[in-house]
Every structure is written in C-alpha cells, then in structure tokens.
Amino acid sequence: MVEKEKNQNDIIDQELINSFGIDYIFENKPINRIKSKPTIENTNSKLNDLKEKISSINNCDLKNNGKQIVFSDGNSKSPVMIVGEGPGQREDELGKPFVGDAGQLLNKMLTAINLKRGSVYITNVVNYRPPNNRKPELAEINRYSEFLREHISIIDPKILILMGSTAMESLFGSKIKISKERGVWKELIINNKTYLTMITFHPAYLLRQADQKKYSWADLKEIRKKIDELKLKI
C-alpha cells in the first residue's frame, strides 16, 4: 500500500478547524492593511454627495435667503484647504466662494506666497448667503459645522487655513478670541485624523482694518514655510 504523503500543516489546520465544531470559512486572501489613496473620482463623488446633502437641508433661514448653494472652488486634490465664513452678494450670484472684494484680496494674499488660487481648495462655513450679509448665528454655525467637518475629511488637506472668527468658532468653539489664536499651528482632530491648522484674519476684516495686515502677512509667511518644510506639491 502506498502511503499518502501528508502535509504537516494541513493536518494541524484540519484538527484546529474540527476542534471549533462549526463550519468556519477561511478566506485565503491576505488582509489589506495599507489604505489605498482615494482617487479623484472617489473624492468628487463624495463631494457631490455632500453637496446634495447640504442642498436638501430644511428650515434654514440661510437657504431660504440665498439664490443658490455656494459650495467650493479650486482643486479638490490640493494639500491646502481654505475656509471662510459664508457667501456675500457676488458669491450668491455666481455660486462660487470668494469672488467679491474679499476674494480679490484673498487672491493677492495667495499670490504673495506664491500660490495660485486654482491650486488650493476653498470653501465656507455656511453655504448660503445670510440675509443682509449678517454673520451666521451660533446655531447656524453649529448646524453647518457638521457638513464642514465632513468636507474637510473628504478633501483631507495637509494644511487647513481658517479665515476669520466664524471659521475658527465652527471648529474650535466660540469661547476663544481670534486675536489670541491666530498665527500658530494647531491640531484639529476629525474622525481620528489630525489636521495641521492655521487660524488667520479674514480678508474682509483686513479690508476694514488695514493696520492688521502685518499680522496676516506674518501668518502667510508661516504657511509658506510649512508648505516648503512638508515639501507639498502645490
């Protein structure tokens, strides 16, 4: 009689499986522990879903006031994401953030540190123009901050720039003062992920308070330094 060649591992595995006494199915596939990078299609489809979700919001004075949603502008694969407050008249008309006077200044600020507007990603805390351009109320900021957090997770930036107190409050709470918090790197945690964040003055504020531009310039230089340090492709 020819003795059947036995594989030692098979015997042990079979004994082990039998000892469980149930029909386990073992997958023969290795576990993928390395997260693959999201594709641009993936990111854009998540952005579309988020935009849809915001568009279907109910009982919102902002939505009732605005002509259309103002969602974002720029490059969704950018390592730099900028968050402003909310759309003004021009933004409401064109459906794009930062296209009025504050937007013109933002473009100049970016140029000053050698960044093109089209190479960053821009959005706002609220996505509809507030009546009479008033500041969004705390309840509105809180309601939209859920969307903003999701927006940040989708874009997954290496550097997050919060322009003005509304952007700061939506993510860090309302008990702090922008004059104290601006200009230093902070860590913002969303879904277990840490985002390097810089709070800085809003361009609309700088248009009213030109003497504050020196602080804004210091912050911009810090941002440029970090982009270079991290060797970000932008």
Residues in the site for ligand URA, rule: CB under 6 A? 84-88, 91, 97-98, 100, 102-103, 124, 204
Measured from the CB atom, is 115 or 125 closer to ligand URA? 125
* Shortest distance (Å) from residue 70 CB to ligand URA: 6
- Residue 79: name the closest of 218, 217, 196 by CA: 196
Minimum distance, C-beta of residue 122 to ligand URA, in the bound complex (Å): 8
CB of 98 to ligand URA, least distance (A): 4
Q: Answer for the pair 96, 70: CB distance below 8 angstroms, yes or no.
A: yes
Q: Tell me how far, at minimum, the Cβ of 125 lies from ligand URA, in Å.
A: 8
Tally of CB atoms within 10 A around 137: 13
- Residue 153, judged by CB atoms within 10 A of its CB (0-12, 13-18, 19+), counts as middle
Question: Looking at beta carbons only, is 98 or 147 nearer to ligand URA?
Answer: 98
Helix ranges (DSSP H) in 156-212: 165-172, 178-181, 203-208
Helix, strand and coil percent figures for the chain, each rounded to 5: 50, 15, 40
Nearest to 198 by CA among 152, 146, 156, 163: 163
Nearest approach in angstroms of CB 234 to ligand URA is 21
Closest distance of CB 85 from ligand URA, Å:
3
Instruction: Name the residue whose CB lies closest to ligand URA.
Output: 84
Q: Are 62 and 126 in contact (CB under 8 A)?
A: yes
Cα–Cα distance for residue pair 230/9, rounded to 1 Å: 48
Nearer to ligand URA, 43 or 104 (CB): 104
Of 79 and 130, CB closest to ligand URA? 130
Residue with tokens 């000053």: 112
- Residue closer to ligand URA, measured from CB, 92 or 150: 92
CB-wise, 38 or 215, nearer to ligand URA? 215
Q: Dig out the tokens for 211 from the structure.
A: 């003497």
Residue 80 phi/psi, 5-degree rounding, is -120, 125
